[in-house]
């Protein structure tokens, strides 16, 4: 929120570096000169290197790799468990009409769990950035990476079509593995902190 128009007594006594960075982002969006924009970005980079300013904003190729590794580590133990098949059958068989209720609930819970780990824990402060102005970039990336890990590993290890499941049952199997892979991908992404490198799909003007 802009401080313009506030009296001196209304201004906060202390500022956090994150607040200053937010103000700089607003300033960057308001200036029209490319040179001024570069100057603002330079100041932001310096502040982000100050101890206590750690927050996750960028989503880099290294973040993708860390999410992939985290997803693999968490999903591998489940790939050899036949209990995944039983859970998938339960997801499919428990339905209201044609709608597999528990399968949908599992998908929703996975999305909410990843979002909670990213944005509502004290592990790191995550700055939401939107993809195409709609989707949270980091959340979308982690969900897609973990789903690719679940689908690819199930197919590679011959677990996707074992015992001749229906298409919905096969998808439910992937959904079970995806839940574990999503948690692993999230932790693998945020625990090391913000990665070096250029932001993927960075918006530039």
Same domain as 64, residue 48: no
pLDDT tens-digit series, residues 89-134: 999 998 888 899 999 999 999 999 998 888 776 445 555 565 555 6
Residue 99 backbone dihedrals phi, psi, to 5 degrees: -95, 115
DSSP state of 95: -
Task: State how far the Cα of 194 lies from the Cα of 205, in Å rounded to an integer.
Answer: 23
**154 falls within a domain:** yes
Same domain as 40, residue 102: no
Same domain as 134, residue 43: no
Q: Is the model more confident about 35 or about 152?
A: 152
Longest dimension (CA), the chain: 71
**93 falls within a domain:** yes
Domain that holds residue 39: 6-53
The helix (run of H) or strand (run of E) holding residue 56 is strand 55-56
Same domain as 102, residue 154: yes
Same domain as 82, residue 113: yes
Same domain as 138, residue 74: yes
pTM: 0.68
**118 falls within a domain:** yes
Task: State how far the Cα of 92 lies from the Cα of 121, in Å rounded to an integer.
Answer: 32
* C-beta atoms surrounding 15 within 10 Å: 11
By the 8 A CB rule, do 109 and 175 touch?
no
State how many domains the chain has: 2
Same domain as 32, residue 99: no
Query: Three-class SS string for 124-188?
Result: CEECCCEECCCEEHHHHHHHHHHHHHHHHHHHHCCCCCCCCCCHHHHHHHHHHHHHHHHHHHHHH
The helix (run of H) or strand (run of E) holding residue 136 is strand 135-136
Q: What is the pLDDT of residue 146?
A: 96
Same domain as 112, residue 22: no
* C-beta atoms surrounding 126 within 10 Å: 21
**32 falls within a domain:** yes
Same domain as 48, residue 136: no
């Amino acid at each position: 929120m802009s401080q313009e128009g506030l009296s001196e007594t209304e201004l906060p006594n202390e500022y956090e570096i994150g607040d200053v960075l937010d103000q700089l982002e607003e300033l960057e969006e308001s200036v029209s000169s490319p040179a001024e924009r570069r100057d603002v970005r330079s100041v932001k980079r310096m502040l982000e290197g100050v101890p206590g300013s750690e927050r996750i904003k960028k989503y880099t190729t290294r973040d993708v790799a860390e999410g992939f590794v985290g997803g693999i580590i968490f999903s591998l133990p489940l790939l050899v468990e036949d209990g995944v098949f039983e859970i998938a059958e339960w997801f499919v068989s428990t339905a209201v009409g044609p709608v597999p209720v528990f399968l949908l609930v599992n998908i929703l819970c996975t999305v909410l769990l990843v979002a909670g780990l990213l944005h509502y824990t004290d592990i790191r402060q995550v700055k939401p950035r939107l993809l195409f102005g709609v989707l949270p970039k980091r959340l979308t990336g982690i969900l897609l990476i973990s789903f690719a890990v679940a689908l690819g590993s199930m197919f590679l290890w011959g677990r996707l079509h074992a015992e001749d499941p229906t298409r919905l049952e096969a998808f439910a199997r992937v959904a079970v593995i995806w839940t574990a892979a999503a948690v692993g991908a999230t932790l693998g992404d945020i625990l090391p902190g913000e990665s070096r490198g250029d932001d993927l799909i960075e918006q530039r003007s």
